[in-house]
Every structure is written in structure tokens, then in C-alpha cells.
Amino acid sequence: MKPAMETAAEENAEQSQEKKGCFECCIKCLGGVPYASLVATILCFSGVALFCGCGHVALTGTVSILEQHFSTTASDHALLSEVIQLMQYVIYGIASFFFLYGIILLAEGFYTTSAVKELHGEFKTTACGRCISGMFVFLTYVLGVAWLGVFGFSAVPVFMFYNIWSTCEVIKSLQTNVTVPGDQICVDIRQYGIIPWNAVPGKACGPILENICNTNEFYMSYHLFIVACAGAGATVIALLIYMMATTYNYAVLKFKSREDCCTKF
């Protein structure tokens, strides 16, 4: 029979060993979390959601403003309406694709991080795994360049709405100035190329333009385009983080594969 003190000491030692093993397991699991990919995924989801959601509503409001104030003939803006409708369908596709792609990139981040830190064995550094990682590096670079174009394109309506808004502010500031009547200050949408030059009326001047700026559709569309542009910028930043994370992981995997190859001989 063992003394009670020795038995208690052994039980305490076993409990401390279990706690230590559990702590080491938690640290090991936390070490396999791809924090860069996790941050990039959250940022990518947020940016794409803002761009797609706000962009879709803003495009609808833009068509309504054009139809009511700048192009009263349906045939003049028929092509523009079709293009905007197509862009809205493209937005649906972008949202669906990046929802899936973000999940895949996060899984790939777990995959490569586990391989780099050797958490789950040697099978993670196979040629197939390195090929998959390299494919995601290339695809992320291509999507990053594409989203730079999307970010630049999303700034165009912001610039157009800002010009209209700033012109309305000029009209308001000249209401007390008799020498410069506000009726002479106009905004011609036809110069932006979104409606043809024969569109009627094509432009708005003075109080009419000021009333357009005071409508809820203009206010909402203007600010939604700003948020959509910010969402596109956030997505670009997320893809840049993805680029750095996937490139680093792929480089380490490539180095480890050469190291393992050399140690076999």
C-alpha cells in the first residue's frame, strides 16, 4: 500500500501533465492559424459586400435620375439601361465568386501554414500541394490586378456625382449675387459619354439642377457610390495581403521541399 501523500503527489503530477499537454496542444493549434489570411478574408468579404450591395442600389438610382431629368426619351438611354442591367448581373456573379474564393483561400492558408510549421506530417509538402499553392498565388495576382481596374472604374461615378454636387453648391452660393445668375450654370451629362449627344434635354441648369441635387435619389446614389468605391479599395488591400501570405508560404514550401530532397541523399 502506497502512502496517501505519495498517491496524492502522483495524482497531482498526472493532472499537471494533462494540463501541460492540453496547453501545448492549444498553442500548436493556434500556431497553425493563418492570421494574415484570416484578416484578408474578413476584409475581402466586407469589401466585396460593400461594393456589390451599394453598387447595385446606386446603379438603379442612377438610371432613375437619368430617365427623369436628363434623358426623357427611352430610346436615347436604352443601351445604357441594358449595360447597367448587365453590370448588376455581373455584380451578382462577383459576390458569389468571391464568397467561395475567400473560403478557399482561407482553407489554403490553413493548408500551407500547417505545412510550413510541420503540424500534420510530411504529406503536406508534396509536389501536388506545392502546385496548388502556386496556382493560388498566380490567380490571386491576376485578381489583384483586375480589382485595381475595378477600383479605378468605381471612382468614375463618384467623380461625376461630385461634379454635379459641387455645381449645385456654386449655384447656392451665387443666389445672393445679382451679377452672375445661377441659370447660366449647367451640368451636361452628355459630356461623360453615358448618353448620346442627341439626348433631350441632356443637361440641367440653375434651379432645376439644384432641385436634382436635393432629391433623395441623388443623395443616396452619390453616397452609395462612395461606399462602393471604398469597398473596392478594401478588396484590393485584402488581395494584396493574400498575395504576400500565399507568396511567402509557397516560397517556404519550395525551400522545404528542396531541403527534404537533399537530406534523403
What does the pLDDT read at residue 232? 93
What does the pLDDT read at residue 231? 93
The share of the chain scoring above pLDDT 70, in percent, equals 72
What does the pLDDT read at residue 234? 93
What does the pLDDT read at residue 79? 80
67, with CB counted inside 10 A (0-12, 13-18, 19+), is: middle
What does the pLDDT read at residue 2? 47
Give per-residue pLDDT as tens, 197-248: 887 788 888 888 888 888 888 999 999 999 999 999 999 999 998 888 878 7
Give per-residue pLDDT as tens, 127-142: 666 677 778 788 888 8
Whether the CB-CB separation of 195 and 220 falls below 8 Å is answered with no
Residue whose C-alpha cell is 441632356:
202
What does the pLDDT read at residue 228? 93
pLDDT exceeds 50 at position 9: no
**pLDDT band for position 177 (cuts 50, 70, 90):** low
> Between 8 and 191, where is the model more confident?
191
CA atoms of 41 and 33, how far apart (whole Å): 13
Q: Average pLDDT, whole number, for the chain?
A: 77
CA atoms of 76 and 80, how far apart (whole Å): 8
Closest to 124 (Cα-Cα) out of 137, 136, 115: 115
What does the pLDDT read at residue 126? 61
Per-residue pLDDT, averaged over 3-29, amounts to: 53
What does the pLDDT read at residue 235? 92
CA atoms of 122 and 133, how far apart (whole Å): 16
Per-residue pLDDT, averaged over 12-25, amounts to: 54
Whether the CB-CB separation of 81 and 63 falls below 8 Å is answered with yes
What does the pLDDT read at residue 1? 46
What does the pLDDT read at residue 120? 47
pLDDT exceeds 70 at position 3: no
